[in-house]
Every structure is written in structure tokens, then in C-alpha cells.
Amino acid sequence: MLEATSDTGRKFARKFRNVLCLLDGYLPCPRLFSYRIAVVSFDSPIHTDNLTTKIEVSAQSWGTATASWLVQTLGGKGDILVLNGPAGIGVSEARWAYAKKVFAAHPGINVVAISNTEYNAAPAEQSVSSLLYAHPHVDGIWSQGGALSAGAVLAYERAGKPIPPMTGENSKQFLEMWAQKKLTAMAVGNPNWMGAMAILAGVLAQQGKDVKFPIDVPIPVITNANLDAILASGKDFPDDGFIYPPYTQASLQAMILAQP
């Protein structure tokens, strides 16, 4: 078995003729290396180094940045709801693990309820509506999905309650709600082009290029300062889509290749 993190593995990776991109934490078969296949994981925590490289937005950066913003916005105290993705999903669990550390460091922050739903506004709305009956006073919402945040907004509007500060993601639906309703919010997100980036990384490895391991994609942050510009850049995106930062092959390659 050859590991892509070793010198031997890196040299072997440069001779690969095929590319396999992995999503959702699937572990590659070690024999793929003997078949000259470049193996690139993206957008999912995967606990192996038997890869050509892995491309990720740091779950630590994601969870820490959003939780820190909410703590600061609430002045270090308050009751909050936590809206996670489906239970057991690696990305959701990793983001929440880092956010939880931030909240634990601030005794004034009280997590009153945690919800796990699909990344979809409808089940999120239903879940938050139920939580509001049990917890009518909430000071903030830590949400790790744009659709989840949109569902929370709909639930609060249905209940006739003021919408508290919340985090979210780069979902166009949520960003439009934020702008229209002048919410107190911040958002981060995974660039949608990481799949294309994974393919390019595999091709560059085949060509003998020195590909970074791992490849950390800078986390896109959306605040009131750039919200209008982000929405303008995504005016032609579908209403249920995610607005991603612009990119070119050259900009992706710059993130992929190791600096001499």
C-alpha cells in the first residue's frame, strides 16, 4: 500500500492515469493505487491519508467562526437553538463539535435545544416550530445550513415572533430573506466548485504536478458588509441554489499546487 502523504506515494501519484473523486466520507480501497488511480476526497471529512489529496473547508474554521460571531453578537450570554444537519453526517458532526467548544467556553451561553434535520427548509421549519412551543424565549440560533436558517425564519414568522440573530450558509433563499427582513445574521459556506477542483487536482497529479496535501479552501464569510454584493453576483442563480464565489481554472490551480 502506498500513501499519498509519503514521498513514494507522491511520486507514484504523478503517474496515475485515472481520477476518482470521493464525497460523503467514503473510504477508498488501498488497491486503487495499484490501478494507477488518483484518489481525491472533497467536501467531507475522511479519516485516511491513502489519498492523492483531500479538499476541504475546515470544519474547525466553520464551527469556530460562526459560534464566535453568535457569542459576540449576544454579548456572551443567552439561550440558543442549534440547528444541525442529519445525525451522523460527518460534516455536520464536525462543525458542531468545534462550535460546541466555543459555547462551552462561555458559561452565559445556554443551548436549550438541538435539532437534526435534512438540509431542507420544510423539515427545518417544522422542527423549529415545535421547538418554539417548548422554548418560547430564544436569544439566538446557531444554524449550519442555509436551508435550515430559512426554515427557522419561516417558523418565527408563522409564530409571529421577532427573529433572533442567527448564523447560516450561502443559500440564496436565506440570503434574500436576510436582506429583505434586515436580519441580524452572518453566513459561511462551502464553495460549490469543490467538485470541479477535485477533478482538476487529480488531473494535475497525473501530469506530475506537486499537489498540496491537504488542500484547505478559504472559508467564504458573508456579513452585512458584503451581503448585497453577494446577492448581486448570484442574481441569475436558481432560487433554491447556493451562491458561490467566482472562480477560474487558474484560481483553482493556484490553491491546488504546492508553492516552490
Helix (H) or strand (E) holding 55: strand 53-56
Most confident of 66-70, 200-204, 237-241: 66-70
**β-strands 37-42, 18-22: how paired?**
parallel
More confident residue, 69 or 48: 69
Cα separation of 95 and 215, whole Å? 18
Tell me the residue length of the chain: 260
Other C-beta atoms within 10 Å of 195: how many?
15
- Domain 59-188: what homologous superfamily? Response regulator (3.40.50.2300)
For the whole model, what pTM was predicted?
0.84
More confident residue, 57 or 77: 77
Cis upstream peptide for 28 (omega within 30°) = no
State residue 129's pLDDT score. Answer: 97
CA nearest to 28, candidates 8, 11, 13: 13
At 172-193, the pLDDT tens digits run 999 999 999 999 999 998 788 8
Spell out the long-range contacts of 244-252 with Cβ–Cβ below 8 A and sequence spacing 24 or more. Answer: 244/170, 244/189, 244/191, 244/192, 244/193, 244/220, 245/191, 245/220, 247/191, 247/193, 249/200, 252/193, 252/196, 252/197, 252/200
Segments making up each domain of the chain, as ranges: 7-57+191-256, 59-188
Asked whether the predicted pLDDT for residue 11 surpasses 50, the reply is: no
Q: Where are the alpha helices (DSSP H) in the chain?
A: 7-13, 59-73, 90-104, 121-134, 146-159, 172-181, 194-206, 227-233, 249-256
